[in-house]
Structure 1
Amino acid sequence: MAMDNNGTTTITPLLSNNSGHDLEKPASFVREFGAESKRLWKLAGPAIITALCQYSLGALTQTFAGLVGEIELAAVSVENSVIAGLAFGIMLGMGSALETLCGQAYGAGEPRMLGIYMQRSWVILLTTACVLVPMYVWSPPILELIGETTEISEAAGKFALWMIPQLFAYALNFPIQKFLQSQSKVLVITWVSAGVLVLHAFFSWLLILHLGWGLTGAAITLNTSWWLIVIGQLSYILITKSDGAWSGFSWLAFANLWGFVKLSLASAVMLCLEFWYLMILVVITGRLQDPLIPVDAISICMNIQGWDAMIAIGFNAAISVRVSNELGSGNARVAKFAVVVVSVTSVSIGVVAMALVLATRDYFPYLFTTSEAVAEETTKLALLLGFTVLLNSLQPVLSGVAVGAGWQSLVAYINIGCYYIVGLPAGILLGFTFGFGVEGIWSGMIGGICLQTIILVVVTSLTNWKTEAEQAESRVKRWGGGSSDQS
């Protein structure tokens, strides 16, 4: 899919027959699939491990805080999921603009531009972090507004104040990671994240439990861990120059900022609408009559879904790099075939994950609860969890394709329509009006994910990849680090 100068959309089938290669021959297809799958896993494997390591930082802190006391657990949990979760989604989304620009510039053979792009993203994200600071400062009334008790809100608000350094680590970290990912330097990020996780586990035990520093120790370890990730990755870039992609700090970082801001905002809206969608499910479930058991059950399911989502995030990063690199290089057909390979691979894993959820639905709830009522409710929700896991094996991949190709604005509109105009109202209608409870709420929201996935499949299938490659070349020239920036 692409727009010409008159705003007309051009579409062609996903796999055309005039590509110069006979993909219909089984042997040729298998060889190509194997080669592309190998390239994919070199990116996706480390990206999955990185996502798991960074996800585990907050999870470990929450676990150690829970060993101190109930109020400490609640403070860390609420701050981590609501305040920091909101900031994480915004920062990750805005930083994802670099996946398009850095990936296409690197594919076009313009590595020097990557450093300029990263610095521009730093300027934008650091400014955004300053804008978000008041949310941390006034988090207690914000949390009370959404229904938290005064005791939990005040404890979480105090912890949020101590976690402001983490916010600025996010602002530097995500551009750095996109900068490295676009060059396929994913192992650097993985080793740094894994090393920091080991240190984080030890110092969390030392400060939170052994020395008895409680929430103060939790804040120190979590802040320090995120800043160690930033320092480790940045040290690699400054020492190695990243094969010419880093040429030092430049005033060009402040050029053409408005165009960068627009793409960053589109990326943020696109990803945040996805990131927050299932989080809203827990909030709405809390509005049911006698919500304690449904909320506990849905929280267990979301925990399972969160860990499974790390796999999808790895594939999201991998396909974003593959598509942006190949479009930047002008290899439209290779970009197109990479989409086929990652979709087949991710959906296959999704089918296995769905089968695992359904096969263990009578057992896995007891890993999280000793309550028979909560376990029974979780078992009832397992079918919906299985469908969600399956859908979320493909949906993030298609979002990664969108980021790699630069379709953030289009997907943002699709997400608004499918999630918040169709899925969310349908869930509220089924859950409350028709009395299906949490099953109805979740079913309606799954409908929104289904609709969004179908639309993205159609859009991707009808994309004119040759035209996308031409647009990538134009984008690299327009947002380059040279004279074009000065105009």
Structure 2
Amino acid sequence: MDDGTHPLLISNYEEEDQQLLRLRTLSFTAEGDIEHINGLRDFFTQFGVESKKLWYLAGPAIFTSICQYSLGAITQVFAGHVGTLELAAVSVENSVVAGFSFGAMLGMGSALETLCGQAFGAGQLDMLGIYLQRSWVILITTAIVLCFLYIFAEPLLKLIGQKEEIAKAAGLFAIYMIPQLFAYAVNFPIAKFLQAQSKIMVMALISAVALIIHTTFSWLLMLKLGWGLVGAAIMLNFSWWFIVVAQLIYIFSGTCGRAWSGFSWKAFQNLWEFVKLSLASAVMLCLEVWYFMALILFAGYLKNAEISVDAISICMNILGWGVMLAIGFNAAISVRVSNELGAGHPRTAKFSIAVVVISSTLIGVVISFILIISRNQWPIAFSSSIEVRKLVSELTPWLAASIVINNIQPVLSGVAIGAGWQALVAYVNIGCYYILGIPLGLILGYKIGLGVMGIWGGMLCGTILQTCVLFGLTYKTNWNKEASIAEDRIRQWGGENDGKSNDTEK
């Protein structure tokens, strides 16, 4: 029986239905997970969608990292114009005392990347503020303990072989910098709290304003008014606390909605489990930071120590700026993975990992290619010594390989943080870095006589092995199971129950 419907209209309806079904199958939604991708066209379409999400997070995160990294670097530049002793004092305090504390605090704060990210993905917004306060309790307590490192910095620096006048000046400067230590304790949990909600643009804006203020007033206090180390300490402390206070005002003003509902005694519940995850995060990160610090330390014991240390320091400087890109990707992927696992979207999490690994690797390859083809030119900008420039040129292939690996490794570490594997990765780091990498580097550098290239080559082998292990763990992971673990973790640490109790109270 004819119902009066034109066959062409039926065909159009069927085509529209098929297109809608296909879009529904391919797209990321709040309710569903990504389904199968059919063909290269679908892959590149979805790759573009996911890349936009990643760069929305990674771009501001990279900018924020560069701004905050530059606070100490700019202080060192101005200190160099004050005097050689002042430069040495600021450099030693930044790299040894503050560097150790920075790594420990950032690592412990990274526990929030797992917890806040997964709670946000699961819609348990009320728990984000509780997790933030728990992290503050733990990090401020840790800062009180680390105060002894600042107070007794002078004798400790003498113990590791620093000259008496440098140790004395750096020790005094370290005491001045105790307020910065507590700024770290408050700031890093805030950063992870905001990252989990993808509120990274406000962090970038605040960091940019802090950098402008820091540069202007550091020049005024240190050079024009002649306050020296006192001026440096005032501005570094002020700049970090400016970042902290500005972010707190943003949070307390109600812009985070249910994620911040005020202070609560629940922050003191389940602290031991939180401490264990925080310590695992700190150990995981510190093992990586200390590994590359050891490269410069071992170079100082070679025959041409001054040339070796200068050349490696230049290469490490380039590698450090490259790591800023990787840190942005690290933050982005940890947020994406934790959010999607918390939301019960394992396939989306897996696809996000593929996209960020491909993107980060391509950027690393491009940077490495530029360094290799200009290996005889770019060292001129960093040193007037022909010997140093020659050694830097010889080390450039090792630097290029390190940049490629270090553009992949932090991304996989971000996956580990997003999934909550910090304790496992800490053991992986010990095995790859300290059981294989360092001993192999010492054998190649000293025993076989390859010098600085042998040390770097051995340690690079440790990094490559660690990257391969993390890649294998990521590839073999049952992401459906990880999504279930994320749900259990949120329920175990009060997400579901606390959410219900909060609704009842309201």
> Is 1:358 the equivalent of 2:372?
yes
Q: State how 1:198-347 maps to structure 2 within 5 Å.
A: 198-347=212-361
Deviations 1:145-165 (A, max 9, x none): 222211111111111110010
> Is 1:168 the equivalent of 2:169?
no
Which one-letter code corresponds to 1:203 in the other structure?
A: F
Structure 2 Cα separation of the partners of residues 372 and 142 of structure 1: 36
Deviates more, 1:455-464 or 1:21-30: 21-30
Which one-letter code corresponds to 2:206 in the other structure?
A: V
Equivalences, count: 468
Aligned partners of 1:83 and 1:139 also within 8 Å: yes
Aligned partners of 2:490 and 2:496 also within 8 Å: no
Structure 1 Cα separation of the partners of residues 438 and 67 of structure 2: 31
Instruction: Answer 1 or 2: higher relative contact order, Cα 8 Å, separation at least 6.
Output: 1
Deviations 1:157-179 (A, max 9, x none): 11111001000000000000000
Which one-letter code corresponds to 1:287 in the other structure?
A: Y
Partner of 1:152: 166
> Is 1:28 the equivalent of 2:45?
no
Shift of 1:193: 0.3
Deviations 1:295-352 (A, max 9, x none): 0110111111111110000000000000000000001110010000000000000001
Partner of 1:100: 114
> Is 1:57 the equivalent of 2:71?
yes
Structure 2 Cα separation of the partners of residues 381 and 482 of structure 1: 53
> Is 1:390 the equivalent of 2:404?
yes
Structure 2 Cα separation of the partners of residues 109 and 21 of structure 1: 22
SS in 2 for 1:361: coil
Aligned partners of 2:34 and 2:347 also within 8 Å: no
Structure 1 Cα separation of the partners of residues 431 and 37 of structure 2: 36
Structure 1 Cα separation of the partners of residues 399 and 160 of structure 2: 25
Structure 1 Cα separation of the partners of residues 191 and 462 of structure 2: 30
Query: 5+ unaligned residues in a row in structure 1: which ranges?
Result: 1-18
Which protein has the larger Cα radius of gyration, Structure 1 or Structure 2? 2
Aligned partners of 1:327 and 1:335 also within 8 Å: yes
Aligned partners of 2:127 and 2:498 also within 8 Å: no
Deviations 1:199-239 (A, max 9, x none): 00000100000101011100000010000000011100000
Partner of 1:13: none
Which one-letter code corresponds to 1:457 in the other structure?
A: F
Q: 1:413 aligns with which of 427, 439, 443?
A: 427
Partner of 1:128: 142
Partner of 2:191: 177
Aligned partners of 2:124 and 2:496 also within 8 Å: no
* C-alpha RMSD of matched pairs (Å): 1.4
Shift of 1:23: 2.3
Which one-letter code corresponds to 2:412 in the other structure?
A: L
TM-score by length of 1: 0.94
Query: 5+ unaligned residues in a row in structure 2: which ranges?
Result: 1-32, 502-506
Aligned partners of 1:478 and 1:484 also within 8 Å: no
Structure 2 Cα separation of the partners of residues 465 and 230 of structure 1: 36
TM-score by length of 2: 0.91
* Identical-residue share of aligned pairs (%): 60
